[in-house]
């Protein structure tokens, strides 16, 4: 009888405890969802109150809400506290009652329970342990196999390929050895031999499998569950294998992560003349009409995030570009659209968004075009920025107010204009911040392009007064660091590469080429070799930084220590920036010569006299060098040692900007319009 009383008390208390607990949970949830002290309602009300200081009703409301929310907060707090104590007391009561109840009905062992065979238990325990350990090992090995992928994407952006490759090869080795082991152990299973341990492989999987073998050869009866371990390790191997192969397939697609630097310029012979380059499966075939509903069109993977590509490398791993197109007939041209305002800035592309800027005396604007349709998705005007000059600074006609290329990272996009106005927007054109850096004292007009490194927006602000290199927070516009520069005015743009073991920003100025640590702007090295008006940016390949400027020199600098490897002055660019591969440096001049330097010696190996000025920069894409002359003639060169001119044709529109590339597409800006080239 007594024990039933205890049971009933326990049950009733339990019911109460559950009720109290759920009430507390609800109250906690409410308090969590709207911390009464900082409700948005309150904030907006307070802001409203600030706007209308004389509105007595409003302030009355605020006061009332304030009182209410505080009351709610403190009642909630005390509720939770008392609830906690009540719950504890109830738990004690329940525990006590249950104890009494069950001690009254003491458990006695049933007869048939006690016949466990300890040896069987032990062998089961061994098996569970092995399975558990194998699971842990499998997790570890999968992590090892996945490591290179994530590392690769990280390393790729840092512009370093070796460690990724090493990792990959290790993981392949691991794969190989594991599959060998599986085979081996299967054969062992047949032979029932026990000498598997002799192989000396380090892999833990192997070890646990040896253990399995031992078991199998020794216990016949308990062997039933043994296969599961083998199965498990097989699964692990398979997972690894598939992840590795996936990784190989991914390499081309995830090349967005790879700076083109990682890829050495591939050979062009087979891709150019044979039509065998298939579209990557992600891209629709030529049958896909561009008028298709916009949402079903794929988002390309390759990006071109800044002037001359990611980090300013001038290279893209794009494939399958057409080698000819016609703007009039529209052959191989996806679309062509006018750009509302004029500018010399180059397009950048990330996902389906193409960003360009344009400006005139009436307005400075950042445009976002849709890659597939050419529709102008949004326009962002640089207005309402404090410190922005009312009157436009004097700029020359061939620089303009929008000569600087924007930079993006796929989440934010930033633009700068010759007025010193910087604006930053998200991908939907919502302005995040705007800032004026001080009107540049610049007789041609400010022209350096932006660069994004992580959360830093890096700006080379080399003007006649207050030359500096600075990094702003891309999310807030706040200055993260700033380095004043002794260099004179320049129009070149910063690039990113690895120097002295660190991610570095290379700035070509007058009179020095300087490497700054990208994270805090510390100077890594400085080489004084330039003079005159510097307009061409640096480029880098395989640990060598190249810089060239007309009336100065062309110089190759060891990125790790700033040592000058060679200097030459045969073929020097004015506005066009050079681009380099492992073995060659390509330079396009404003007097019509296009040259290939030998990267090792600095000798001009091949020179084409094309008698037309080049302001646009050569870029390496699809295994070829692409170059537009000012008059709009497109030249395509081989990246092989002979630097053969493969083809050239007139596009018919003046082109000063450098093209941008994404999956099998090229985006070109002419002096009036924007068009996208894509193989039909």
Partner 1 sequence: MRNTVLVARFPKPDFTSGYQYPDVLHRVPMETFWSWVDVVLLVGMMGFVAWAVHRRRSRRAILAVSIVSVLYFGFFRTGCVCSVGSIQNVVLAMAGGDGYRLPLVVLLMFLLPLVFALLFGRVFCAGVCPIGALQELVNVRQWHISRAVTSALSFIPWVYLSFAILYAATRSQFIICRFDPFVGIFRMGGDVGMLVFGVLLMVLSVFVGRPFCRFLCPYGALLGIVSRVAVKRVKITHRQCINCRLCHHACPVDAIREPCGGKVAESRTIGTRRVALYLLLLPLLTVGAALLLQSQSDTLSMAHRDVWLYTQLRSDNPPAVLPAEVEAFHEMGRSMDELEASVVSVKESYRRLSAWAGALMGFVLGCKLVRLSLKRTRKTYEVDPSTCVACGKCFSYCPQAGRSTSQPMEQRAENGVYSNYPESRQRSSVAQHVNESTRFIKNSQHEEKHL
Partner 2 sequence: MERREFLRTCGTLITGGGLASLGGVLGSKASAVEGETMWQIDPERCLQCGRCETECVMRVSAVKCFHANQVCGYCDLCGGYYREGVKELNTAAENLMCPTGAITRRFVEEPYFEYTIDEDLCNGCGKCVKGCSSFGNGSLFLQIQQERCLQCNECSIAKVCVSGAIQRVPVGTAYKLKDHA
Give the list of residues 6+ apart from residue 623 with CB closer than 8 angstroms, or none: 265, 266, 267, 268, 271, 639
114 binds, among partner 2, partner 1, none (CB under 5 to 8 A by kind): partner 1
Q: How far is the CB of 102 from partner 1 (least distance, A)?
A: 5
- Tokens describing residue 274: 């044979």
Does residue 73 interact with partner 2 by CB under 8 A?
A: yes
Q: How far is the CB of 519 from partner 1 (least distance, A)?
A: 4
Does residue 271 interact with partner 1 by CB under 8 A?
A: no
The single residue among 29, 53, 105, 295 that binds partner 2, judged by CB under 8 A, is 53
| Whole-number Cα distances in Å, 232 to 225, 226, 569 | 12, 10, 65
* Closer Cβ to partner 1, 307 or 614, answer by number: 307
The single residue among 481, 566, 591, 649 that binds partner 1, judged by CB under 8 A, is 481
Does residue 600 interact with partner 2 by CB under 8 A?
A: no
Q: How far is the CB of 50 from partner 2 (least distance, A)?
A: 6
- For residues 5 to 44, the per-residue mask of contacts with partner 2, x marking binding by CB under 8 A and - elsewhere, is --------------------------------xx------
* Closer Cβ to partner 2, 27 or 522, answer by number: 27
Q: How far is the CB of 27 from partner 2 (least distance, A)?
A: 12
Does residue 274 interact with partner 2 by CB under 8 A?
A: no
15 binds, among partner 1, partner 2, none (CB under 5 to 8 A by kind): none
- For residues 123 to 142, the per-residue mask of contacts with partner 1, x marking binding by CB under 8 A and - elsewhere, is xxxxxxxx-xx--xx--xx-
- Tokens describing residue 313: 């490398």
Grouping H, G, I as helix, E, B as strand and the rest as coil, residue 211 is: helix
Q: What is the DSSP letter of 113?
A: G
Q: How far is the CB of 474 from partner 2 (least distance, A)?
A: 19
Does residue 474 interact with partner 1 by CB under 8 A?
A: yes
C-beta neighbour count of 463 within 10 angstroms: 21
Does residue 67 interact with partner 2 by CB under 8 A?
A: yes
Q: How far is the CB of 65 from partner 2 (least distance, A)?
A: 8
503 binds, among partner 2, partner 1, none (CB under 5 to 8 A by kind): partner 1
The single residue among 122, 331, 603, 672 that binds partner 1, judged by CB under 8 A, is 122
Grouping H, G, I as helix, E, B as strand and the rest as coil, residue 33 is: helix
Q: Which residue has the tokens 């996009």?
A: 413
Q: Which residue has the tokens 């690769």?
A: 152
Does residue 476 interact with partner 1 by CB under 8 A?
A: yes
Size of the site for partner 2 (CB under 8 A): 18
Q: What is the DSSP letter of 366?
A: E
49 binds, among partner 2, partner 1, none (CB under 5 to 8 A by kind): partner 2
Does residue 74 interact with partner 1 by CB under 8 A?
A: no
Does residue 258 interact with partner 1 by CB under 8 A?
A: no
* Closer Cβ to partner 1, 130 or 301, answer by number: 130
The single residue among 102, 267, 394, 672 that binds partner 1, judged by CB under 8 A, is 102
Does residue 124 interact with partner 2 by CB under 8 A?
A: no
Q: Exposed, middle or buried: residue 25 (CB in 10 Å: 0-12, 13-18, 19+)?
A: exposed
Write out the H or E segment, with its range, that includes residue 148.
Answer: helix 118-158
Distance of CA 616 to the CA centre of its chain: 26
| Whole-number Cα distances in Å, 15 to 9, 22, 87, 194, 520 | 10, 11, 11, 60, 61
Q: What is the DSSP letter of 153?
A: H
- Tokens describing residue 476: 């807030």
Please state, in angstroms and rounded to a whole number, the distance separating the CA atoms of residues 188 and 209: 10
Q: How far is the CB of 583 from partner 1 (least distance, A)?
A: 28
Q: What percent of the residues of the chain are helix, what percent strand, and what percent coil, each to the nearest 5?
A: 35, 25, 40
C-beta neighbour count of 96 within 10 angstroms: 14
Q: What is the DSSP letter of 326?
A: B
Does residue 414 interact with partner 1 by CB under 8 A?
A: no
Does residue 59 interact with partner 2 by CB under 8 A?
A: yes
Which pairing describes strands 315-316 and 619-621: parallel, antiparallel, or unpaired? parallel
Please state, in angstroms and rounded to a whole number, the distance separating the CA atoms of residues 512 and 522: 15
Q: Which residue has the tokens 């109840």?
A: 101
Region from 77-85, 270-278, 362-370, 560-568 binding partner 1, contact rule CB under 8 A: 77-85
Does residue 147 interact with partner 1 by CB under 8 A?
A: yes
The Cα angle at residue 592 between residues 591 and 596, in degrees rounded to 5: 115
Footprint of partner 2 on this chain (CB under 8 A)?
37-38, 45-46, 49-50, 53, 58-59, 62-63, 66-67, 70, 73, 77, 80-81
């Amino acid at each position: 009888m007594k024990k039933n009383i205890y049971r009933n008390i326990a049950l009733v208390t339990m019911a109460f405890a559950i009720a109290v607990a759920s009430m507390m949970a609800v109250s906690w949830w409410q308090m969590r969802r709207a911390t009464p002290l900082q409700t948005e309602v309150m904030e907006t009300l307070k802001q409203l109150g600030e706007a209308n200081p004389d509105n007595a009703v409003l302030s009355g409301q605020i006061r009332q809400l304030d009182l209410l929310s505080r009351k709610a907060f403190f009642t909630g707090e005390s509720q939770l506290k008392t609830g906690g104590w009540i719950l504890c007391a109830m738990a004690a009561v329940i525990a006590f009652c249950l104890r009494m109840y069950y001690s009254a009905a003491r458990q006695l062992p049933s007869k048939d329970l006690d016949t466990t065979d300890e040896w069987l238990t032990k062998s089961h325990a061994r098996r569970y342990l092995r399975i558990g350990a194998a699971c842990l090992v499998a997790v570890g090995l999968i992590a090892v196999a996945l490591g290179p992928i994530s590392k690769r994407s990280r390393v790729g952006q840092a512009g370093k390929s070796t460690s990724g490759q090493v990792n990959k090869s290790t993981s392949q080795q691991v794969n190989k050895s594991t599959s060998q082991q599986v085979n081996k152990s299967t054969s062992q299973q047949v032979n029932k031999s026990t000498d598997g341990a002799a192989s000396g492989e380090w892999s833990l999987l192997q070890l646990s499998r040896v253990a399995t073998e031992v078991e199998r050869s020794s216990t016949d009866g308990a062997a039933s569950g043994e296969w599961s371990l083998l199965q498990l390790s097989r699964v692990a191997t398979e997972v690894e294998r598939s992840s590795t192969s996936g990784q190989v397939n991914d390499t081309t697609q995830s090349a967005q992560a790879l700076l083109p630097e990682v890829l050495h310029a591939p050979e062009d012979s087979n891709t150019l003349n044979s039509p065998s380059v298939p579209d990557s499966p992600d891209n629709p075939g030529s049958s896909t009409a561009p008028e298709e509903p916009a949402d079903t069109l794929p988002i390309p993977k390759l990006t071109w995030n800044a002037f001359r590509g990611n980090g300013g490398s001038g290279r893209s791993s794009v494939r399958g570009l057409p080698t000819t197109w016609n703007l009039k007939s529209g052959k191989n041209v996806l679309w062509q659209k006018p750009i509302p305002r004029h500018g010399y800035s180059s397009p950048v592309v990330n996902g389906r968004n193409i960003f360009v800027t344009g400006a005139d005396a009436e307005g400075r604007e950042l445009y976002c075009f849709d890659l597939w349709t050419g529709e102008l998705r949004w326009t962002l005007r640089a207005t309402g920025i404090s410190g922005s000059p009312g009157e436009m600074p004097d700029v020359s006609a061939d620089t303009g107010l929008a000569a600087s290329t924007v930079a993006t990272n796929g989440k934010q996009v930033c633009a700068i204009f010759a007025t010193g106005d910087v604006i930053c927007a998200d991908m939907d054109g919502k302005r995040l911040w705007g800032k004026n850096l001080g009107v540049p004292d610049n007789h041609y007009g400010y022209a350096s392009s932006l660069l994004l490194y992580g959360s830093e927006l890096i700006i080379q602000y080399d003007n006649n007064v207050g030359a500096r290199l600075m990094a702003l927070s891309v999310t807030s516009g706040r200055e993260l660091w700033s380095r004043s520069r002794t260099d004179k005015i320049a129009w070149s743009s910063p690039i990113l590469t690895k120097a002295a073991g660190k991610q570095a920003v290379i700035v070509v100025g007058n009179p020095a080429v300087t490497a700054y640590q990208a994270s805090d702007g510390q100077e890594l090295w400085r080489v004084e070799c330039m003079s005159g008006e510097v307009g061409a940016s640096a480029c880098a390949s395989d640990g060598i930084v190249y810089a060239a400027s007309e009336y100065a020199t062309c110089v190759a600098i060891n990125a790790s220590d700033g040592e000058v490897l060679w200097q030459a002055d045969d073929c020097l660019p004015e506005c066009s920036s050079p681009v380099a591969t492992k073995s060659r440096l390509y330079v396009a001049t404003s007097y019509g010569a296009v040259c290939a330097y030998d990267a090792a010696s600095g000798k001009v190996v091949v020179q084409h006299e094309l008698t037309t000025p080049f302001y646009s920069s050569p870029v390496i894409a699809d295994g070829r060098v692409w170059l537009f002359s000012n008059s709009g003639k497109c030249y395509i060169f081989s990246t092989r040692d002979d630097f053969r001119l493969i083809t050239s044709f007139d596009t018919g529109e003046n082109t000063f900007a450098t093209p941008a590339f994404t999956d099998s597409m090229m985006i070109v800006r002419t002096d009036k319009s924007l068009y996208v080239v894509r193989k039909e």
